[in-house]
Amino acid sequence: MLFKKSNKILLAALVSGSMGFMVAGQGVYMAAKASFAQYLMEQAWLESSRQGISISPWPWADTKPMARINFIKQKQSLIVMEGSSGRTLAFAPG
């Protein structure tokens, strides 16, 4: 017998734990990526407003900020991006 029963249980626990960390890590990665995209869109909006020209939030973006919607009661705002493709709508209203 290559592995004892206790070693098999330990191995199964390690594999299960590793898979759980990978799934949780993907969720953290996606949340961080979304937060960073919102930050970049906000910066692009501010810079576009300051310079009077449309600026992409990141170099390979195929969209640009075109408006801001303010929700006064909720104390929130959204940047509206140019276009209505799925890639644009993944980040903001278009």
pLDDT in tens, 54-89: 899 989 888 899 989 999 999 998 888 888 777 777
Three-state SS for the chain is CCCCHHHHHHHHHHHHHHHHHHHHHHHHHHHHHHHHHHHHHHHHHHHHHHHCCCCCCCCCCCCCEEEEEEECCCCEEEEEECCCCHHHHCCCCC
Q: Where are the domains of the chain?
A: 5-89
Residue 84: what pLDDT? 77
16-36: pLDDT as tens digits: 999 998 988 998 998 898 889
Quote the pLDDT of residue 2. Answer: 60
Using a cut of 0.75, tell me whether the model's pTM lies above it: no
